[in-house]
Amino acid sequence: MTEVERKRGAAPAPTSWEYAPAPEARDIVTLRERYGHFVGGEWLEPKETYATISPASEEQLAEIGQATPEEVDLAVRAARDAFDNGWAQIPPSERAKYLFRIARILQERSREFAVLESLNGGKPSKESRDVDLPLSAAHFFYYAGWADKLEYAFPNRTPRPVGVAGQIIPWNFPLLMLAWKIAPALACGNTVVLKPAETTPLTALLFCDVVRQAELPPGVVNIVTGDGRTGGALVTHEDVDKIAFTGSTDVGKAIQRELAGTAKKLTLELGGKAANVIFDDAALDQAVEGIVNGIYFNQGHVCCAGSRLLVQESIYEPLISKLKRRLTTLRVGDPLDKNTDIGAINSRQQLDKIEELVQSGRDEGAEIYQPPCRVPEKGYWFAPTVFTNVAQSYRIAQEEIFGPVLSVLTFRTPDEAVEKANNTMYGLSAGVWTEKGSRILWMAERLRAGVVWANTYNRFDPSSPFGGYRESGFGREGGRHGLEPYLEFE
Ligand code: NAP
Ligand code: MG
C-alpha cells in the first residue's frame, strides 16, 4: 500500500509515487543462436565467435562472429566488387530510392529495433523508441535527398565517390551511429564495410535484414563483427579508401598514427567533456531539465554529454537543491520498462571505469550526492551522481567518465565561464542557459566546441553538422558537411 501523508488542512497525498511495471514485449524480437558476418549479401559462417549479453541481466543473447583479417578481407573484396560493378555508376536517383526504402523499413520495424537496442545495449526503451530509431530513419531520409543533388551541394567541383569506406562505431548509439556512417557514404556512391562495437552488434546484424528487404545490391553494405582486432584489420586493409571512426580519443590517435603517410582519407569523432553553463538569469526549472537530459540521458554514455556543470555563483544554492530533488525522481532499472529513466551501464568494463573515476573524485576531495535507488542484483548499474566542490584540476573535471556522473563547478563572470568551459583537451559540444539572446551569441563565439546548444541540450537533426575541435576529432557528420568526407573533387 502506498503511504499517505496528511498535512494539516491539506488533502492526503502519497509520500512517494510507485510506478507499476510497464515492460515492453520482448517477443517482438527473434534472435538467432549464432550470427555470422554479412558479406556480399550473404551470411558468412564465422571462424571464431564470442558471446554477446544483455548488460541488464548478464544473460547471453547470441553467439557473434569475431572476424579475422581473412574475413575482413572477404568483406572488403565484396565492397570493392559492388563499387566497381555498378553501385558507383547507377543513376544517383536510383541510389536515393534504396535509401528512402531503408528509411521507411526502419520506421516500419522501429519497435523491433528499439527493443533489440535496449536489450543488447542497456539503454531505456523509451530512449531507443523516441530518439535512436526516429533519428536513424531521419538520417536515411535526409541523405536520400542529397544523393541526386551532389552537384548542387558542391557547385563546379565535380564530386565523385571515394570508393570503399571502412567504418568503425561505438556502443553508445549502435544503430544511430550506423545510420550516421552508412547513409552519407551510400548517398555519395560509396560501398561500405562496417564494424559495430563488440558489446552491441545485434541491431547492426538486424540491419542486414533491412538491407536485403530493400533489395540493395549485394556487397554495397557489409557488416563484420568483432573486437578491436577486427577494427584494426579494417583500418590497415590496403584496399580501403576511407576510414570513418567514432570512439575513444586513444583509439582515434592510434588509427591516425597508423594511417599517417597513406592515401586513405580519415574522419575521427572522438570523446568530449562538455560544459553546460547556467547563468543567473536562466529559467531554473527548465535548466534543471536540460542538465538532467544533458548528463543522465543514455546513462551518460554520450560523447557530447554535459558532464561539467558550470553554475553562476549567485544561483548555486537554489539550482543545486532543485537538481538534487529532481534526481530523486529518476527511475533506475530494467531498460525494457517504459518508465525507466536510467538503464544499465553498457558493460562490466565501462562500469569499472566509472567506479574508478568516481573513487578518484572522492579521494581528491569532491562531495558526492546520489539519490537513494534500488537496482537489480544482476547486471551493471550506477546511480545518478552529482559531485560538488570540484576543482578544475580533478580527474572528474578533466577526464571523460562516460557515465551518469556530473561534476559541478562555479563561476562569477561570463569571461570566467568561457575560460573554464574551454579548459579541456576536448571541444565537441557545450550548453548555454540564459534569458539574453546577446549573451548566447557572445558565448557561442567564444566557446571552442563543435556544437553549442542554447537553452536546450542534446538536440539532434540530420541537417545539422556535428563534430569536434581539438582532441574531439575532425570531420563533420550530418548536413551537407557530412557528404564531404565521402567525396573526392576534381
Ligand atoms: P573505443 O574503444 O574507441 O571503440 C570504438 C570502436 O573502435 C569499437 O568498435 C571498437 O571495438 C573499435 N576499436 C577498438 N580498438 C580498435 C583499434 N585498435 N583499431 C580499430 N578499431 C578499434 O570506444 P568505445 O569505448 O566503444 O566508445 C566510447 C568512446 O567513444 C568515448 O570516448 C566517446 O566519447 C566516444 N564517442 C564519440 C562520439 C562522437 O561522435 N564524437 C560518439 C560516440 C562515442 P570494441 O567494441 O571491440 O572496443
Ligand atoms: Mg572499446
Q: What pLDDT sits at residue 1?
A: 43
Residues 237, 377: one domain?
Answer: no
> Within a domain: residue 7?
no
CA-CA distance, 97 to 145, in Å (whole number)?
9
- Which secondary-structure segment (H or E) carries 35? strand 34-35
| Among 234, 253, 252, 139, residue whose Cα is nearest residue 194 | 234
Residues 433, 480: one domain?
Answer: no
Reading phi first (left if > 0) and then psi (alpha if -120 to 50, else beta), residue 175 is in: alpha
Contact in structure between 402 and 350 (CB atoms under 8 Å):
yes
pLDDT in tens, 233-278: 999 999 999 999 999 999 999 999 999 999 999 999 999 999 999 9
**Active-site residue 269, yes or no?**
yes
> Within a domain: residue 73?
yes
Among 7-16, 30-39, 67-76, 187-196, which stretch is predicted with the lowest mean pLDDT?
Answer: 7-16
DSSP structure string for 116-174: HHHHHH---HHHIIIIIHHHHHHHHHHHHHHTT-HHHHSTTS-EEE-SEEEEE--SSSH
pLDDT in tens, 163-188: 999 999 999 999 999 999 999 999 99
What mean pLDDT do residues 434-445 have?
98
**Active-site residue 188, yes or no?**
no
* Residues making up the chain, counted from first to last: 490
Parallel, antiparallel, or unpaired for β 473-474 and 265-269?
antiparallel
> Within a domain: residue 183?
yes
Return the ∠ at Cα 57 (arms to 54 and 61), rounded to 5°.
Answer: 35
Residues 323, 250: one domain?
Answer: no
Residues 208, 329: one domain?
Answer: no
Q: 393 lies in which domain range?
A: 275-454
Residues 476, 431: one domain?
Answer: no
> Within a domain: residue 432?
yes
> Which residue's CA is minimally distant from atom 4 of ligand 1?
247
CA-CA distance, 178 to 136, in Å (whole number)?
8
What mean pLDDT do residues 430-450 have?
98
Contact in structure between 340 and 126 (CB atoms under 8 Å):
yes
Write out 169-216 in H/E/C secondary structure. CCCCCHHHHHHHHHHHHHHCCCEEEEECCCCCCHHHHHHHHHHHHCCC
Which numbered atom of ligand 1 lies nearest the CA of 402?
A: 31
pLDDT in tens, 72-125: 999 999 999 999 998 989 999 999 999 999 999 999 999 999 999 999 999 999
Residues 160, 207: one domain?
Answer: yes
Among 86-90, 346-350, 432-436, which stretch is predicted with the lowest mean pLDDT?
Answer: 86-90
- Return the best residue to mutate from 180, 302, 303, 458 for the ligand 1 pocket (most ligand atoms within 8 A of CB): 303
Quick one: what percent of the chain has pLDDT higher than 70?
A: 97
What mean pLDDT do residues 51-62 have?
98
CATH number, domain at 114? 3.40.605.10
Using 50, 70 and 90 to split pLDDT, how confident is the model at 18? Answer: confident
> Within a domain: residue 48?
yes
Measured CA distances, 334 to 130, 371, 442 (Å): 17, 18, 42
The number of domains in the chain is 2
pLDDT in tens, 353-383: 999 999 999 999 999 999 998 888 999 999 9
- Which secondary-structure segment (H or E) carries 309? strand 308-312
Return the ∠ at Cα 380 (arms to 37 and 115), rounded to 5°.
Answer: 50
pTM above 0.85, yes or no: yes
pLDDT in tens, 308-326: 999 999 999 999 999 999 9
Among 208, 303, 477, 484, the active-site one is 303
> Which residue's CA is minimally distant from atom 32 of ligand 1?
248
Residues 304, 241: one domain?
Answer: no
> Within a domain: residue 11?
no
Residues 316, 440: one domain?
Answer: yes
Residues 449, 318: one domain?
Answer: yes
Residues enclosing ligand 1, CB less than 6 A? 168-172, 195, 197-198, 227-228, 231-232, 235, 246-248, 251, 254-255, 269-272, 303, 400, 402, 428, 468, 473
CATH number, domain at 354? 3.40.309.10
Residue-averaged pLDDT of the chain: 96
pLDDT in tens, 206-224: 999 999 999 999 999 999 9
Parallel, antiparallel, or unpaired for β 191-195 and 221-223?
parallel
Q: What pLDDT sits at residue 9?
A: 66
Residues 181, 279: one domain?
Answer: no
CA-CA distance, 312 to 276, in Å (whole number)?
11
Residues 189, 248: one domain?
Answer: yes
Measured CA distances, 46 to 26, 68, 191, 228, 232 (Å): 27, 9, 22, 16, 18
Q: How far apart are the first and last CA of the chain?
A: 73
Q: Which residues pair with 308 in a beta bridge?
A: 275, 407
Reading phi first (left if > 0) and then psi (alpha if -120 to 50, else beta), residue 44 is in: beta
- Which secondary-structure segment (H or E) carries 317? helix 316-327
Q: What pLDDT sits at residue 490?
A: 83
Query: Helices H, strands E: what count in the chain?
Result: 16, 22
Q: What pLDDT sits at residue 433?
A: 98
CA-CA distance, 180 to 264, in Å (whole number)?
20
Is residue 10 over pLDDT 70?
A: no
Q: Packing angle between helix 133-146 and helix 174-187, nearest 10 degrees?
A: 10
Q: Residue 365 gets which letter from DSSP?
A: T
> Within a domain: residue 462?
no
Q: Residue 435 gets which letter from DSSP?
A: S
> Within a domain: residue 320?
yes
Residues 285, 425: one domain?
Answer: yes
Which numbered atom of ligand 1 lies nearest the CA of 255?
A: 19
Measured CA distances, 159 to 78, 156, 306, 321, 479 (Å): 24, 9, 37, 54, 16
Quick one: what percent of the chain has pLDDT higher than 90?
A: 94
Is residue 392 over pLDDT 80?
A: yes
457 phi and psi angles, rounded to 5 deg: -155, 155
Is residue 138 over pLDDT 70?
A: yes
Place of cell 539572446: 437
Grid coordinates given for 319: 539550482
- Return the best residue to mutate from 202, 248, 273, 451 for the ligand 1 pocket (most ligand atoms within 8 A of CB): 248
Ligand 2 centroid, distance to 227 Cα (angstroms): 8
